[in-house]
Amino acid sequence: MEKVPDAKVILNHLGNVESLNSEYKKNMKRLSEFPNLYVKVSGYPTDDKDFVKDLLKFIRDAFSSDRLIYASNWPVIELYSDLKEHLDILREVFDDDEDFFYNNAKRCYNL
CA dihedral 36, 88, 80, 23 (to 10 degrees): 40
Domain coordinates of the chain in residue numbers?
Answer: 9-108
pLDDT value, residue 32: 96
Please give the residue that has the higher pLDDT: either 83 or 45.
Answer: 83
Q: Is 0.85 surpassed by the pTM of this model? A: yes
Q: Which pLDDT band holds residue 47 (cuts at 50, 70, 90)?
A: confident
pLDDT tens track for 29-43: 999 999 999 999 988
Taking all residues of the chain, what is their mean pLDDT, rounded to a whole number?
90
Distance from first CA to last CA of the chain, Å, rounded?
A: 23
User: At what angle are helices 22-31 and 49-62 packed, to 10 degrees?
Assistant: 30
DSSP state of 18: S
9-108 fold:
TIM Barrel (3.20.20)
Q: Which pLDDT band holds residue 74 (cuts at 50, 70, 90)?
A: confident
For the residues 51-66, what does the mean pLDDT come to?
Answer: 95
